[in-house]
Structure 1
Amino acid sequence: MIIQTERLILRPFTEQDIDALYLMNSNPAMLKYIPTVPFTDREQARELFHNVISRDYQQRGFGRWAVEHKADNKVIGFCGPKFIPEYNEVEIGYRYFPEYWGKGIGTEAAQAAISVFPQFGITQIIALILEGNIGSEGVAKRIGMHWREPSEFMGHKVNVYAKVL
């Protein structure tokens, strides 16, 4: 476990989370503001786990973390740091199943996550938020991030939010 809050546990993803990763990356509502094509096969989630998430943990000592809801003991999304080579900075990213939207979970998890970032040598963060994603911008603002600039990432217009920890 990385950290827990009253309602949530943030922890590294494991092989047992591949089904949750598949659902997160195949749900059209969850991908509305994510510049990627929806998964169509669970093998894609397995590859994501082994070739991206696990590799980040090994190479950087951190990566996206599973967010587990204590009340129902299931992974409901992710929150955590990821090094973005195009910016040479660490991004905080978060994504949750729609049934958990509007309950303060994004802010709760993000506040908990950034409280431990210094343990991983992370002293400043950015958030790359696709234009129109008001929910994610709200979370960024509530955790003390400030709009820095418009930019482009993966061929999409984004707003860059930033914070020094």
Structure 2
Amino acid sequence: MSIFPAYETERLILREFELKDIDAIHTYLSDPAVSNYMMQDATTKEQSLNYVHRFLEFQKEEPRKILRFAIILISNNRLIGECGLNYFTFLITIHM
């Protein structure tokens, strides 16, 4: 269940991922021109499916530490990419 509403601009919608996004995600993850700049690539549909499942699992965590959003182009309702935020807690120990 999404706790974040979709965010809409003049051209784009940012929303949480859904399982139905698998084909669009696989399209850009398997493109070498895109995957060259990402930490993840997926040459098989199964790898893309695992990638989507990770996002869906992140959405269930409490508290949420990883937020990933699908970027949808409004003009054709096409998923064209992703963006996100990661929250990290650093524990600093001072030894004297």
Report the counterpart of residue 14 of structure 1 in structure 2. Answer: 18
1-structure distance, mates of 2:83, 2:38: 14
Matched, 1:41 2:48: no
Q: Which has the greater radius of gyration?
A: 2
CA distance in 1, matches of 2:77, 2:52: 20
Shift of 1:62: 5.2
Which of structures 1 and 2 has the larger relative contact order (alpha carbons within 8 angstroms, sep 6+)? 2
Does 2:39 correspond to 1:5?
no
1:49 and 1:35 mapped to 2: Cα distance? 14
Q: 1 or 2, which has the higher strand percentage?
A: 1
Return the offset for 1:70: 0.5
Q: Mark the runs of 5 or more structure 2 residues left unpaired by the alignment.
A: 90-96
Percent of aligned pairs with the same amino acid: 34
- Aligned equivalent of 1:56, options 45, 54, 58: 58
Q: 79, 82, 86: which is aligned to 1:78? A: 82
Q: Which has the higher helix share?
A: 1
Residue 32 of structure 1 corresponds to which residue in structure 2?
Answer: 36
Measured on the aligned residues, the alpha-carbon RMSD in Å equals 1.8
**Is the contact made by 2:65 and 2:86 (CA closer than 8 Å) also made in structure 1?**
no
Distance in 2, Cα, partners of 1:57 & 1:45 = 17
Extract structure 1 runs of 4+ deviating beyond 6 A: none
Which ranges of structure 1 fall in alignment gaps of 5 or more residues?
A: 90-165
Cα deviation for residue 61 of structure 1 reads 6.9
